[in-house]
């Protein structure tokens, strides 16, 4: 993991003091709300339905055990004892008080965490693959470039007042777990014909009211040119992005309106002027940052031992958990463990302070003291010896963190929705919990297999409903909550936006509709076919007919 040096530490400490001063001025009435709002937003402080909400960045999802303990401390000390992990690998506190925020930020700065630019019309948290550094299919570790981008984008003086928010994601594997095609800039590491690692640059992806899959404007970019090229894109966006209409201000609208070719031309024209500037990344800088991500001290372990096989054979629940929640690690004898935050008891992505502390201890004991947050609102212990899986599972189960449902029907992404969020039109958490309740039978869950359900409570799509295999959008229809369905979305390297099924369903019929969709899939699927693949093969008609009857 990256460790702050004196410069990084000084920046966050000064930032805390700056915000403390701004908050005090606001509380004393020296700043109006109009003047204060952009300042608090750029430190991640929103005002929501019930209270202020503080969003803290987890840079590219990387979290240390010590940081997790401090997140628990903040939850206990300044909030109601829990936090919520988001679809951008961040954490949110829903009940924090303005007068406590400077102290909370100071406590977080002690462990190298902050909310800088987690909101506002600036460059947000750069997100990445939760299996970075350990995935079997990985070509290049994206984390080093995420850290380089993080520093370059933090308090960037030229790009702090963009037309709208700006989100960057980086992946280093052919199986894209970071949804790079759905970001303002997506960077996909791969090798060119000469075998050199570089970036495919994808621009203008995004969800919200007008979803788009991003367009490739450059097939291969050398790493040394990463920052200058990003700067060229941002400068073109800063000048040419729309500022007349908040709903048309993202870069995806600009790329769509002028076309990818013209947009590329503008970027290249600007880039020509700056590509040999001080932004050129020296190899030594890349290597210096890369040294922070050196692999841990792996032991020489046997892979897929007989012991593990017998443990799985002896314990059906453990076996189910390994099948669903444990992924292959590139180092023999190790495993990637997904911690499901999708139990029945808590809203998706929520964790109590006690759970956070316990998981921090588990990270220390089983995974070199590190964790990751993924954009599906779950956690990852990336380096667990296979011999420890049984013991770890037992401990996770005791914490209600071992639901064997990763990537399955009850591994639902849900935004906070109308229960918490000032932007929402409908609730999303109760729908997620009802679906979870309906699918408690693990045989059924396993039979259905891979299916992602994403729920958003409004068109801003923080629940990523456009790219769910099944997407659910909550709307307000004459004062009642209705839920519209889309099918066939995907956020991976074959990204697609879901297709609408038809009219929405009232809240008390929404989960029946989910069941109808899944039962239809079970009836018509081919052997071994995932939900998404069945949909792509047969299209909407059978599902439409099942939901609404023959027309």
Partner 1 sequence: MLQMIIANTLADGFVVFLTDDNSWTNDIAAGALAATDEQAEKLLAIAQKAEQSNLVIDPYLIPVELEGDVRKPTEYREYIRATGPTVPIPS
Partner 2 sequence: MVLLKNGTVVEDTLADVSAAEQVPENGGILVSVAQWQEHRDALIQRSDPLGIVLRSDEKPELIADDLQYFGVIALDFPAFGDGRAYSSARLLRERFSYPGELRAVGDVLLEQLHFMNRVGFDAFAIKSDDAVRDWEIAAADISVWYQPSSDGRVPATQLRHNKN
Of the two residues 9 and 493, which places its CB atom closer to partner 2 in the complex? 9
Residue 160 interacts with, from partner 2, partner 1, none (CB under 5-8 Å by kind): partner 2
Residue indicated by tokens 């669903």: 324
**Contact residue for partner 2 among 28, 278, 294, 550 (CB under 8 A):** 278
Q: How far apart are CA 315 and CA 25, in angstroms?
A: 60
**Contact (Cβ atoms closer than 8 angstroms) between residue 114 and residue 18:** no
SS3 489: coil
Residue 332 interacts with, from partner 2, partner 1, none (CB under 5-8 Å by kind): none
Q: How far is CA 540 from CA 86, 516, 545, 546, in A?
A: 30, 13, 9, 10
Site track 327-366 with partner 1 (rule: CB under 8 A), x = hit:
------------------xxx--xxx--------------
Q: How far apart are CA 173 and CA 133, in angstroms?
A: 10
Q: How far apart are CA 146 and CA 144, in angstroms?
A: 5
**Contact residue for partner 2 among 29, 157, 541, 549 (CB under 8 A):** 157
Residue 38 interacts with, from partner 1, partner 2, none (CB under 5-8 Å by kind): partner 2
Site track 93-112 with partner 1 (rule: CB under 8 A), x = hit:
---xxxx-------------
Of the two residues 118 and 154, which places its CB atom closer to partner 2 in the complex? 154
Q: Element (H or E) spanning 106, and its range?
A: helix 101-109
**Contact (Cβ atoms closer than 8 angstroms) between residue 532 and residue 409:** no
**Contact residue for partner 2 among 95, 152, 220, 298 (CB under 8 A):** 152
- One-character DSSP codes across 332-363: TTEEEEEE----SSS-TTEEEHHHHHHHHHHH
Of the two residues 358 and 429, which places its CB atom closer to partner 1 in the complex? 429
- What residues from 233 to 272 belong to the interface with partner 2 (CB under 8 A)? 235, 238-239, 243
Of the two residues 291 and 440, which places its CB atom closer to partner 2 in the complex? 291
Residue 158 interacts with, from partner 2, partner 1, none (CB under 5-8 Å by kind): partner 2
CB of 340 to partner 1, least distance (A): 15
CB of 259 to partner 2, least distance (A): 21
Q: What is the 3-state secondary structure (H, E, C) of 191-245?
A: ECCCCCEEEEEEECCECCCCCECCEEEEEEECHHHHHHHHHHHHHHHHHHCCCCC
CB of 129 to partner 1, least distance (A): 28
Exposed, middle or buried, 284 (CB in 10 Å: 0-12/13-18/19+)?
Answer: exposed
Residue 151 interacts with, from partner 1, partner 2, none (CB under 5-8 Å by kind): partner 2
Q: How far apart are CA 360 and CA 357, in angstroms?
A: 5
511-520 in b/e form (b: 16+ CB < 10 A) is bebbebbbeb
Q: How far apart are CA 82 and CA 72, in angstroms?
A: 7
**Contact residue for partner 2 among 1, 2, 22, 79 (CB under 8 A):** 22
Residue 350 interacts with, from partner 1, partner 2, none (CB under 5-8 Å by kind): partner 1
**Contact residue for partner 2 among 51, 197, 279, 354 (CB under 8 A):** 279
SS3 38: helix
Residue 157 interacts with, from partner 2, partner 1, none (CB under 5-8 Å by kind): partner 2
Binding interface with partner 1 (CB under 8 A): 26-29, 33, 47, 49-52, 80-82, 96-99, 345-347, 350-352, 418-420, 424, 427, 429-430, 433, 476, 479, 481
């Amino acid at each position: 993991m990256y460790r702050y040096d004196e410069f990084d530490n000084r920046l966050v400490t000064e930032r805390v003091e700056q915000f403390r001063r701004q908050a005090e001025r606001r509380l004393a009435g020296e700043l109006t709300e109009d003047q204060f709002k952009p300042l608090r937003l750029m430190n991640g402080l929103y005002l929501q339905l019930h209270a202020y909400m503080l969003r803290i960045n987890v840079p590219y999802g990387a979290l240390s055990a010590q940081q997790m303990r401090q997140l628990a401390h903040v939850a206990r000390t300044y909030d109601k004892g829990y936090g919520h992990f988001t679809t951008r690998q961040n954490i949110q506190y829903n009940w924090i008080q303005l007068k406590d925020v400077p102290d909370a930020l100071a406590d977080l700065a002690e462990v190298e965490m902050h909310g800088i630019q987690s909101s506002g019309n600036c460059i947000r948290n750069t997100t990445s693959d939760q299996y970075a550094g350990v995935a079997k299919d990985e070509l290049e570790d994206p984390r080093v470039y995420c850290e380089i981008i993080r520093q370059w984008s933090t308090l960037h003086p030229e790009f702090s007042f963009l037309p709208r928010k700006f989100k960057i994601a980086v992946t280093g594997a052919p199986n894209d777990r970071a949804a790079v095609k759905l970001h303002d800039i997506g960077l996909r590491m791969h090798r060119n014909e000469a075998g050199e690692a570089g970036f495919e640059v994808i621009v203008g992806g995004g969800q919200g009211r007008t979803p788009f899959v991003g367009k490739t404007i450059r097939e291969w970019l050398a790493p040394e040119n990463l920052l200058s090229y990003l700067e060229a894109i941002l400068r073109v966006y800063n000048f040419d992005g729309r500022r007349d209409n908040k709903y048309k201000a993202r870069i995806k609208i600009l790329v769509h309106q002028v076309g990818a070719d013209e947009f590329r031309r503008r970027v290249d024209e600007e880039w020509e002027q700056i590509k040999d500037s001080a932004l050129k990344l020296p190899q030594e800088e890349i290597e210096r940052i890369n040294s922070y991500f050196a692999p841990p001290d792996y032991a020489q372990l046997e892979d897929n031992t007989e012991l593990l096989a017998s443990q799985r054979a002896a314990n059906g629940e453990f076996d189910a958990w390994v099948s669903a929640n444990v992924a292959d690690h590139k180092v023999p004898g190790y495993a990637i463990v997904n911690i499901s935050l999708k139990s029945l008891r808590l809203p998706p992505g929520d964790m109590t302070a006690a759970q956070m502390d316990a998981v921090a201890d588990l990270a220390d004991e089983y995974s070199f003291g590190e964790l990751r947050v993924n954009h599906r609102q779950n956690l990852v212990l990336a380096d667990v010896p296979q011999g420890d899986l049984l013991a770890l599972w037992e401990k996770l189960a005791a914490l209600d963190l071992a639901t064997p449902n990763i990537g399955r029907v009850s591994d639902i992404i849900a935004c906070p929705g109308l229960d918490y969020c000032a932007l929402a039109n409908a609730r999303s958490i109760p729908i997620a919990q009802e679906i979870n309740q309906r699918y408690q039978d693990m045989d059924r869950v396993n039979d259905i297999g891979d299916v992602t359900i994403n729920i958003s409570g409004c068109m801003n799509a923080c629940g990523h409903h456009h790219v769910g295999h099944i997407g659910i959008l909550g709307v307000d229809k004459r004062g009642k909550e209705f839920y519209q369905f889309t099918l066939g979305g995907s956020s991976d390297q074959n990204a697609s936006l879901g297709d609408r099924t038809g009219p929405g369903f009232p809240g008390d019929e929404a989960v029946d509709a989910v069941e109808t969709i899944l039962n239809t899939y079970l009836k018509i699927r081919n052997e071994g076919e995932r939900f998404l693949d069945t949909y792509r093969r047969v299209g909407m008609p059978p599902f439409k007919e099942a939901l609404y009857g023959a027309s």
